Structure 1
Amino acid sequence: MNQPEVQGNAGMTGGRVKQASKAKGNGNGKGKGPRKGRKKAALIWLFFVALFAIVCAVVGYLLVILNGERILSANINKLNLDQASVIVDRNDNQVAKLYVAEGNREFVPFGEIPKLVQDAFIATEDKRFYEHNGVDLLGIGRALVKDVIARSAVEGASTITQQLAKNLFLNADKTVFRKGTEASIALALEQKKSKQEILELYLNRIYFGKGQYGVKTAAKFYFGVSDLHKLELWQIATLAGIPKAPGVYNPIANPEKSMERRGVVLSLMLDQGLITQEEKDKAAAAVYKPVASSGQKGKYLTYVDYVVDEAKEKTGLSEEELLSAGYTIKTTINTKAQSVMEAEFAKDDRFEKSKDERQVQGSMVIMDQHDGSLIAMVGGRDYEKQGLNRVTQQRQPGSSFKPIIDYGPAIETGDFFPWTTVQDVKQCFDNGKYCPSNSNKNQYLGAIPMRQAIKESRNVSAVWLLNQIGISKGLSFAEKLGIKLGKDDRNLSVALGGLTNGVTPLQMVRAYGAFANGGKLEDPHSILSIKNSNGDTVYEYDSPKAKQVMNPFTAYYVTDILQGVVQQGGTGVRAKFGSRPIAGKTGTTQAGIPGFKTSGNRDVWFVGYTPEWTAAIWFGYDKTDRDHYLKKSSGQAAAMFSAVMSKALEGVDRKNFPKPEGVQDVQKLKGVSGFTGVYSPELVSIELSWAPVEGEGITYKVYRKGEGEAEFKLLAETADPAYDDLAILPDQTFSYYVTAFQAKNKLESEPSEQIVVTVSTGLEATPSPGTEEGGESPPPEQSSEPPIDIIIPGESPSPDPSTSPDPSTSPSPSPSPTDSPTPSNSPSP
């Protein structure tokens, strides 16, 4: 009975399923009508949306065109160059006008512009110029793809027409619609003007840096060429490379970057079949030389150019906008100091005479170390002709780097003081790889106080000191002063200022300013504020808190030893003037000309400071060769310091160097006298004795050097004025000296007279020849910095066979001082 029931249920179930299916099918069937209706409605809506979008696009396009034509019609014959920006000093006295319209623009008709000049600019700025209608949509798409791939804005897409639009209406408000406005003007220009007319306008109105507008004016300014048909390919490519960044790529301000940019232009011209490979190579190799006609006019040119560069960096404005958009830039210039500096640099007798038209060059910068204000600056002689600011150019600093890398960090450790004894003995370092030497009249003095080592600029003492504290400490200290050195500088050559890339006078004035300012490092700056033509402040200098980069005691003691450098017998004696306290250091690097032996110099420096201002001076040729090197030493730079600072500081309130509380005054402990020594066969010892030194807590340090040893080493410290040396060997000779030491003040006297004792003879010792304590300093008028030989990359001086290390064990040369023929690049032990 149950089975049929089950079947019946099954049948019912099946029936319900079928019905449900049918019902479902009917539901679907009935739904087709509404769905079709919805699709139809959607299509209608899409049609109207598309129609509305098309109408909006057309209206928008017409508005854009009309707006562009309106602006174009109102301004096509106007030049927005009548709102000159001005530079003022901190008292709002006008220092300079940044733009003067007359004489900076000369129009050249299209027919007088050579085809190659046209092609160079089109190839560089807008290769589809003759294909688009003002806005290059294909170029925009290509640029967007590259930007997405690079994840940053790496390629622009402005056409020549857009650039012209921007140039014509430079003073338009910078809003989110600025780019759209430029595009509208570009489209209008394409409607109103032919391609030739647009290109003519572009080439006559584009900015070329240094206040020059238009290709003809730029050709005359940079190359002295009035007829554009006489331009050479390398000159054309140089000009075509400037508009991308006029302040960066003009050949006067940045000859190296200009040359690199020229290479890019030439590559583009080659790729587009405009020139041959041979023409490209020849044009790329040409070296730019400024011409006399490229002179700028006005006062304080170096300072003004520096202000413009700083303003560009701080505001993001272009050079052209800063020149002609009516800004007022308040600066830190001291016009009296600037005028004095320019007057001294204009005196030919301040510089060595060159054998041809290439002059000995120089640069100088003064900074107020208390707040970082840049007081005055000269970038070179005849700056108006060349415009290269050597204040920001790297050069090898020589011994002027010693306070930064050797003496400052040594004193900072707390183990060294101005009176601490350092070694001045002929020796090699780094397992014999680096063997510096002195160039002083008395070549080696043995053990001498630190103050004497830096006063006479003794090279071996500086290297010995850096080796004692470790290179890492020296590099770290320099970095705190704003000079970061690379891994290639981890060698003892840096002790003498032999650096891979060199330093700038601006870096040096900042670093020395910290010594002058109690160990506080300030931020160098020339701008206090910038206001637009409406009087609104667009930038204001926010002085960061000065960094305490060293112990105030370190700054005090470094200042103390650097004051000795300008005293009689010091290498910087010619920097001294008046009664103001002065501290400073000279620096000299040897010429290092391959295949040419000379005692001449490549760079000479003096970096010094008074309690009020700090200054850095560099002299040298832009390029050193056998016909162009300095025959005199650092005294000429020191003399320039004296000449400028003595006049510039007239009327400035006199201050004193900061003295930290609790600092130990610089003291001198009386030296040891009556030092004798004798070999005792009975005791098998050398008996040393000397006269006692009066004072509290006096002990004595005995130093010894055995045969074959490079330097004296501390043998013993004793409280008695006598010592028996038992650690001796027969038939050996030993040298000794002794110093008095006072532990509580960390005072160590100058070394005693040296004695020599030979164990086999037992004879009393006599002073060794050539070790007279202290040495003889040159007279003031002859005092000069002992030169340091610098190897420039790719160059090496002729080695001395008698002193050259085995080349198989010596590392490759690098730009470092080579008081031995082959410097070491090995890290300090």
Structure 2
Amino acid sequence: MKKDENNNLENSNNLDETKFYKAINKYTEDDQLEIPRFNSAEETKIVPTVNEESQEELEDDGILVDNGKENIMAAEAELNSILQAQTNGNGDDPMANKNKKKGKLTRLEKFNIFLMTMTSFMIIGFIGALVIWTGLVSGLPELDLEALANQKSSILLDINQEPFFDSSLYSLDGTAHQDIPYMDMNQNVVDAFISIEDSRFFKHNGFDVPRFVSAMITNIKTVDFSQGGSTLTMQLIKTSHLSAAKNIKRKAQEITLSFDAENYLSKDEIFEYYVNKINYGAGNSRGIENAANYYFDKTAGELNISEAALLAGVVNAPNAYSPLSSLELATKRRETVINLMLTHGYIDKEEADLAKSIKIENQLTDVASGIVTFDDNPYLDYVSAVIDEVKEVYGVDLIETPLTIQTYMDPQIQEEIAKIQNEENYKYPDAIMQSAVVVGDNETGQVAGIGAGRDSQLIKGFNRATDMYQQPGSTIKPLLSYALAFEHLGWSTSHVVEDKPVRYAGTDKILSNANNRYIGEVTLKDAVANSLNTPAYLTLLDVEGKIGRNAVATYLNESLGFSRVNTTNYNTQYAIGGSSYSISPMELFGAQAVMMNGGYYTKPHTVEYVITSDGEKIEDIFNYEKTRVISEETAFLVSELEENNVSAGIINRMEVLGGRPYKVYAKTGTTDYGDTGLKYGIPLGAGKDQWMMASSKKYTSIVWMGFDKPIEGEDTYWTNAKYNANPLGKMNVLLLNAAHRNRANPGNVERPAGVSNITHVLNTFPYASPIEDIDEKYVTTGYINSKFNHLVDLDADGVSIEKLDGFKATLELNGNDKEISIDWSEYPEDGSVKSETYDISIPGAKATGTRLFDISWIFGPIQYEAEIKADGLIIETITSDSNIAKQKVNIPNDSKVTVCGYYKNNKTKGAETCVTVENKDTDQAITLPKFTSLQDLQDFANTHKLSPSQIKKGDNEKTTELNLDNTFAGVWYAGLKLEEGVAYKQSSLKKMTFEYRNYEYSEDE
């Protein structure tokens, strides 16, 4: 490469090549080595690029000087000299000439060719890398010391584009952010941060090659660039100068600016900027000095090993590792830091064990423990959610990186939430009871107001509106069981469900209602308004049978946005918001908005766009997709159930939301401790959480109230007095008032074209058309998705009578008569006219239900009927109230006999079952028995249906045997004695006259 080309290339990209070589060739000591501590730039022997006059003097002092292109040229000259020496300066190698004569290359010639080839490739590769690097660092911002030094801050704007938060001013007393010089910090702070964040910080020049290579290998394996391998210097640059994009270009810029920072700043200055800039997880905790004061009521110069390790561990994931979010995670993270401090030799084992033995909760101040909170800032709960969203979507912590953020915060709503939580216009029923609030726009998913808890005022702490996950209780019923019944089972809002004892699938546990009573048959609207449990559970079982359990779990997770639901943990108890089902108030807002917004889901969000410190507007990543997740017809039908909760006139705590010029749609939910509260003195099954979601067409307000944890002796449960005070209803009244104050009437949820009215007989499904003269109290009207609006004929094809499971018929001869015997299978249910109450008991739960309607009230009882057909013609019909019947029939001997049986009432009949029976000939041959008495003859006559007139007394038979006198002599016909075993046709017997005779003694025969 020519010298002028070098100059042009350097001028075109302003790249200092020496920095790049230093990064690549830097020694790579193991993490286990002890790290020196430098306190000044002089000790580190690193200075910025200098002019030629000063260079020689600095080199004499042993200080490394950045020579830029001169070093490259010197390396190139040295390479050329080596090549020149090997070729005698003119390219002629004597050995080569000798080998040329022999026509073969010597080993030296081969090596020279290889060396020259590899050198060419290296030069070409270097040029290519240089070109690529030039592109990567194009648009590189200049190093800005003000950005490093916290002289710029993030500004949040409300919906009116008015600023409501400045990240530099959120200390306890409203004063400016406090920094602490490096020299005033306790050595524990330095040791802890270096151990966990950048173990070679005092050795590298801003870019740690082994760490970077390891991260790059991970990136290549995952085809992702989220692993940065960032040094502490690079982290400082990232938070103050660059966008959150995770790509090679940003990483190249980060590396280059880190070189600049290391050239212009000493190590202690970089460390000072870093720990003073970052966020430590909550409240007044931006910067190490404020964090030390907030958590421990100390300065950063007073922190012990345990405290320094906690703060160093928090910064990697402030939400997760803050002790305000999770003491368990914070403790584990602190132990990780302490172990690394031990590994690197900063502390000994005794010190490590002692530091780990200290409980974090015993070190925290009252402020950090949540006992004392900040005052007079109504917006901080909302700021907390914005910080989380910007971090999640854009990858930047706005507390550390200056941004201008346009939010959807509505001061009119947010200030009302703050008043409620501060009890300025509202009274909590319990001093310990907590609350969480989310108010947002149904159509857009834009969050207008957030309440993190009573007197919370936390910038980066536990936000109950977004971070708290609890069982949703009955609030989920219309969104889950009944929404899917409308969508997949074809139900109408006038459907009838059954409230009865039922066991959870696969268990012995019996599901009950809040009042431990069961109703029986109940309209769907009343079931929802009274928050009945068993109908919701049984409905979801029907839905699972239709679409499968996995489809239900997917609906909850992907369609409604409940992030903790999956196909593994889902079970049918989710129908009542129980089991492992847990949601956040923010997630419930997103799900409820679907029903107010025609079946579309938009992820709840607080940010419209972000403007970086260099003026770039970041907007696309905050445009949340609007996705249809259920039909608009189903969404409307769910809204009808929720509106009925408010307007039905039932005392259910939601009635207080009514009386407005627009409809309100609402649902409540309750969860209990079960038996887990007993050890705290809490009664078995006492209430733990209360939910209420209340919506207009425009806004939805979500309120949760309950207790963060049970406390013995503090009544941390819902007593009847607390419950009856209806604090959630009253709070939602205030929130809806604030959301609509001085604004246009939002109107009501509009009925889609695909929803129609349906009028049908009560408690029928498929829905049946009313018959003429039916009592109006048995007819109901509701809404239904038009594609399911198909009525059946009640008196023909309608509410079906069961088909016979079994049917038998036999034809027997009784003398000269034929007798048919019929056996129907018993009707599966009681076929009588049903009473208005019925037994719904199961083992372990005795209960009586009420019927709303039964078909027997119109059609009468179920009867058993059979048609007897001879050669296809009905010759007789037998009707019985019993399932067994026997009857004489007159059937010709030579005909084919078929019997068809079925169930019936006085309006219709069920499907018939037919059997063919043997038709026996009635004129059969009858064998005479031995007649030994008149009684034998009479019995024979009765058996074969002979007339008594056919039996007569004949003349006596003479006998000489005295002992036979006046005894039975036998039976005669036509002068002949009938003998045993002789056979006669039945028809002949009926024409015969039977003469019986006795013996008479006579000496002369």
2: CA distance between counterparts of 1:430 and 1:307?
Answer: 42
Give the superposition deviation at 1:294.
6.8
Q: Which residue of 1 aligns with 2:394?
A: 315
2: CA distance between counterparts of 1:169 and 1:476?
Answer: 41
Q: Which residue of 2 aligns with 1:346?
A: 422
Cα gap change, 1:340 to 1:349, in 2 (>3 Å): closer
Counterpart amino acid of 1:179? E
Cα gap change, 1:120 to 1:180, in 2 (>3 Å): closer
Q: Which residue of 2 aligns with 1:744?
A: none
Q: Which residue of 1 aligns with 2:539?
A: 465
- Are the aligned partners of 1:365 and 1:615 in contact in 2 as well (CA < 8 Å)? yes
In the TM superposition, what are the counterparts of 1:720-735 in structure 2 within 5 Å? 720-724=858-862
In the TM superposition, what are the counterparts of 1:291-306 in structure 2 within 5 Å? 295=374, 298-306=377-385
In the TM superposition, what are the counterparts of 1:519-558 in structure 2 within 5 Å? 519-533=599-613, 535-540=615-620, 543=623, 546-558=626-638
Q: Which residue of 2 aligns with 1:478?
A: 556
2: CA distance between counterparts of 1:354 and 1:337?
Answer: 24
In the TM superposition, what are the counterparts of 1:173-322 in structure 2 within 5 Å? 177-188=252-263, 193=266, 199-200=271-272, 202-208=274-280, 212-226=285-299, 228-229=301-302, 231=303, 233-246=305-318, 249-252=321-324, 258-272=330-344, 274=347, 275-276=349-350, 278-279=353-354, 281-283=356-358, 286=361, 289-290=368-369, 295=374, 298-320=377-399, 322=401
Question: Cα deviations across residues 307-362 of structure 1 (Å, max 9, x unaligned)?
Answer: 2332333333343454x2xx43222222212222221222178464556xxx3211
Superposition TM-score, scaled by structure 2 size = 0.58
256-265 vs 646-655, which moves further = 256-265
Q: Secondary structure at the match of 1:226?
A: coil
Cα gap change, 1:27 to 1:463, in 2 (>3 Å): closer
- Are the aligned partners of 2:169 and 2:176 in contact in 1 as well (CA < 8 Å)? yes
Q: Which residue of 1 aligns with 2:717?
A: 629
Question: Cα deviations across residues 460-511 of structure 1 (Å, max 9, x unaligned)?
Answer: 2222322333372654543432236234544332121014150111111111
Q: Secondary structure at the match of 2:503?
A: coil
- Are the aligned partners of 1:361 and 1:381 in contact in 2 as well (CA < 8 Å)? yes
In the TM superposition, what are the counterparts of 1:549-568 in structure 2 within 5 Å? 549-567=629-647, 568=649
Counterpart amino acid of 1:361? Q
Q: Secondary structure at the match of 1:563?
A: helix
Q: Which residue of 1 aligns with 2:512?
A: 437
2: CA distance between counterparts of 1:47 and 1:353?
Answer: 82
2: CA distance between counterparts of 1:725 and 1:270?
Answer: 89
Between the aligned residues of both structures, percent identity stands at: 24
State whether structure 2 residue 747 is matched by structure 1 residue 659: no
Q: Which residue of 2 aligns with 1:826?
A: none
Counterpart amino acid of 1:319? L
Q: Secondary structure at the match of 2:693?
A: strand
Q: Which residue of 2 aligns with 1:97?
A: 166
2: CA distance between counterparts of 1:576 and 1:537?
Answer: 43
In the TM superposition, what are the counterparts of 1:350-749 in structure 2 within 5 Å? 350=426, 352=428, 354=430, 359-385=432-458, 387-392=461-466, 393-430=468-505, 433-440=508-515, 443-470=517-544, 472=549, 474-479=552-557, 480-483=559-562, 485-533=565-613, 535-540=615-620, 543=623, 546-567=626-647, 568-571=649-652, 572-592=654-674, 593-595=677-679, 596-598=681-683, 599-626=685-712, 627=714, 628-631=716-719, 632-633=722-723, 635-654=726-745, 655-661=747-753, 663-665=755-757, 692-693=774-775, 717=855, 720-724=858-862
- Are the aligned partners of 2:610 and 2:619 in contact in 1 as well (CA < 8 Å)? yes
432-441 vs 660-669, which moves further = 660-669
Q: Secondary structure at the match of 1:319?
A: coil
1: CA distance between counterparts of 2:128 and 2:505?
Answer: 78
Q: Secondary structure at the match of 1:123?
A: helix
In the TM superposition, what are the counterparts of 1:710-789 in structure 2 within 5 Å? 717=855, 720-724=858-862
Give the superposition deviation at 1:119.
1.6
2: CA distance between counterparts of 1:417 and 1:527?
Answer: 39
Q: Which residue of 2 aligns with 1:334?
A: 410
Give the superposition deviation at 1:542.
6.9
Question: Cα deviations across residues 161-184 of structure 1 (Å, max 9, x unaligned)?
Answer: 555566776799986652343342
- Are the aligned partners of 1:670 and 1:693 in contact in 2 as well (CA < 8 Å)? no
Cα gap change, 1:34 to 1:418, in 2 (>3 Å): closer
- Are the aligned partners of 1:362 and 1:379 in contact in 2 as well (CA < 8 Å)? yes
Cα gap change, 1:266 to 1:354, in 2 (>3 Å): farther
Superposition TM-score, scaled by structure 1 size = 0.69
Cα gap change, 1:714 to 1:434, in 2 (>3 Å): farther
2: CA distance between counterparts of 1:42 and 1:348?
Answer: 85
Q: Structure 1: 5+ residue runs without aligned partners?
A: 1-24, 58-67, 673-689, 731-737, 742-829
Give the superposition deviation at 1:265.
1.9
Give the superposition deviation at 1:382.
1.4
- Are the aligned partners of 1:222 and 1:294 in contact in 2 as well (CA < 8 Å)? no
2: CA distance between counterparts of 1:416 and 1:29?
Answer: 100
- Are the aligned partners of 1:510 and 1:521 in contact in 2 as well (CA < 8 Å)? yes
Counterpart amino acid of 1:723? P
Q: Which residue of 2 aligns with 1:113?
A: 185
Q: Secondary structure at the match of 1:586?
A: strand
- Are the aligned partners of 2:434 and 2:707 in contact in 1 as well (CA < 8 Å)? yes
Cα gap change, 1:254 to 1:692, in 2 (>3 Å): same
Give the superposition deviation at 1:240.
0.5
- Are the aligned partners of 1:311 and 1:317 in contact in 2 as well (CA < 8 Å)? yes
Cα gap change, 1:361 to 1:439, in 2 (>3 Å): same
- Are the aligned partners of 2:99 and 2:105 in contact in 1 as well (CA < 8 Å)? no
In the TM superposition, what are the counterparts of 1:14-163 in structure 2 within 5 Å? 29-31=101-103, 80-100=149-169, 103-110=175-182, 112-132=184-204, 134-141=206-213, 143-144=215-216, 156-163=228-235
- Are the aligned partners of 1:96 and 1:299 in contact in 2 as well (CA < 8 Å)? no
Q: Secondary structure at the match of 2:164?
A: strand
Q: Secondary structure at the match of 1:440?
A: coil
2: CA distance between counterparts of 1:430 and 1:302?
Answer: 42
2: CA distance between counterparts of 1:465 and 1:175?
Answer: 53
Number of residue equivalences = 668
2: CA distance between counterparts of 1:534 and 1:312?
Answer: 19
Q: Structure 2: 5+ residue runs without aligned partners?
A: 1-96, 130-139, 765-771, 780-790, 800-832, 865-880, 885-904, 909-1005
Q: Relative CO higher for 1 or 2, CA cutoff 8 Å, sep ≥ 6?
A: 1
Cα gap change, 1:256 to 1:664, in 2 (>3 Å): farther
Cα gap change, 1:147 to 1:281, in 2 (>3 Å): farther
- Are the aligned partners of 2:440 and 2:701 in contact in 1 as well (CA < 8 Å)? yes
233-242 vs 628-637, which moves further = 628-637
2: CA distance between counterparts of 1:163 and 1:367?
Answer: 35
Cα gap change, 1:523 to 1:36, in 2 (>3 Å): closer
Q: Secondary structure at the match of 2:861?
A: strand
Counterpart amino acid of 2:154? S
Give the superposition deviation at 1:437.
1.1
Q: Secondary structure at the match of 1:384?
A: coil
- Are the aligned partners of 2:690 and 2:706 in contact in 1 as well (CA < 8 Å)? yes
Give the superposition deviation at 1:375.
1.9
Counterpart amino acid of 2:702? A
